[in-house]
Amino acid sequence: MKKIKVFDTTLRDGEQAPGCSMVFKEKIELALALEKLGVDIMEAGFAIASPGDFESVSAISGIIKNSSVASLARATRKDIDVAYDAVKSAVAPRIHTFLATSPTHMEYKLRMTPSQVLETIGDMVAYAKSKLSDVEFSAEDATRSDPAFLAKAVKAAVDAGATTINIPDTVGYSVPAEMTELLEFLYANVDNLDKVTLSVHCHNDLGMGVANTLAAIQAGATQIETTVCGLGERAGNAAMEEVIMALNTRRDRFPYETNIVTSRIFPVSRLIYSIVGMTAPLNKPIVGANAFAHEAGIHQHGVLAKRQTYEIMMPESIGLTTNKMVLGKHSGKHAVEDRLKDLGYTISKEEMDDLFGRFKALSDRKKAITDGDLEALVLHRIHMNGAAWKLDRFTVNSGNYVACSAVVRMSHEDELIEKVALGDGPIDAAFNAVDKIMRVPEHRLEDYSVQTISEGNDAQGEAIVKLSSGGNTATGRGLSTDVVEASILAYINGMNKLL
């Protein structure tokens, strides 16, 4: 079968979505997960965007061994220089440069004539090629460009040495038939296009990102650019898991293969939602809570008789598993480590020591630890490690006829600080006490939510807060069987990020 490369841009385009920014440790964690998932190329970021972006792209380049690592760069020498410096240590580095080709973008954003755009494409692709061998060129807003001019732009990039040509549906404007026609036109009108990788990057503004991507594959595209769970600007990008499972499930229509390890899809989706402080919509295809759930009697009867009556995919194919071993207070570290390996997680000895301590603390509160509990402990380690301020203890007093108060004690290096505060409820009082201790500059609580991780009265609660201060935003997460404690931990986690 024909091989399709998967170019993942969750770390770059996905992170650009409002409220989805990631800190350094989270980017490293996600990059390692994407490598295990089997992506061929990961776009680690936009190196020139900020010192933090450069640092994370450079760090990811140094640790990833089985995927290419790319950095985005505008079609300027400075951008390309910085992108090269960021990815040069990668096993397989790539520079991804772009320039818009649609009339609207050229006139109002670039303020360049078509001839200037063509000249710039040729010059900057050639300059990037002088840095390294793997160069991708994207014709931004390609699907709203004049096809004849787009063909000239693509030819200029191919002639200058681009090894991958990307045709982005930047604003999600195209429909599948148009995508097919455009790629067929380019193949017919650009010499040597069949000698390079032809890619598509489809946004989801009209809900057709996945459909356009699949149409492009059938029209000859050999690389697809996607994000995990469809994260990205505005309505997001084509969702990687939806494209991959469509290819796998409908091989009669799509005789193509990829390097994606589908059993890693669900764990990676859990990780990315954990990092950005979101939960999958219940009806999200592939990874939503209802994707393999059946409530209607006729559906339940059919599935019990034969799963294929109402399930076109096996839950196990995306990494959904059932408990094979009951873990609890008497379980040893080896059993916990083995179960984590079954779930697809490999963590260092130091992290395992910390995680096992938290596992034991949790098992004192719960009779049985579920896979969901265990995964939550793993995912939350990246939010806890290296925190400047930590919760030591707290007490809250609440009732419908008394003023709510909270006493919170926190540690910072070797110092313990305790404050008391009043509030409209126990959570508000606790947050006010944390504010007194940490003294973060003026900030705002934008969002707060609590959800259960597993079932039962002793289920863990996962609290998520979103904070903003001075134009910066941060997502904080906390985990505990006590929702007040989970909320305080989440608030402290978010405040640490703001600091």
Can you tell me the distance from the alpha carbon of 384 to that of 244, in angstroms, rounded to the nearest whole number?
Answer: 33
CA distances from residue 126 to 120, 134, 188 in whole angstroms, order as listed: 10, 11, 24
User: Could you report the per-residue pLDDT of 327-338, keeping only the tens digit for each?
Assistant: 777 788 888 888
Query: Which percentage of the chain shows pLDDT scores above 90?
Result: 66
Q: Which two structure tokens, joined as six digits, stand for 33? A: 């997960």
Can you tell me the distance from the alpha carbon of 491 to that of 313, in angstroms, rounded to the nearest whole number?
Answer: 39
User: Residue 323 has what pLDDT?
Assistant: 44
Q: Could you tell me how many residues make up the chain? A: 499
Side chain identity at residue 300, one-letter code: Q
Secondary structure class of 406 (helix, strand, coil): strand
User: Residue 298 has what pLDDT?
Assistant: 63
Q: Which two structure tokens, joined as six digits, stand for 402? A: 């008394």
Side chain identity at residue 228, one-letter code: V
User: Residue 324 has what pLDDT?
Assistant: 44
Question: What is this structure's pTM?
Answer: 0.81
- pLDDT band at residue 457 under the 50/70/90 scheme: confident
Side chain identity at residue 180, one-letter code: T
pLDDT at 288 over 50: yes
Query: Which percentage of the chain shows pLDDT scores above 70?
Result: 95
Q: What is the mean pLDDT of the chain?
A: 91
- Sorted by where each starts, the structural domains of the chain and their CATH numbers stand as 2-276 (3.20.20.70), 290-318 (no CATH), 333-379 (no CATH), 386-498 (3.30.160.270)
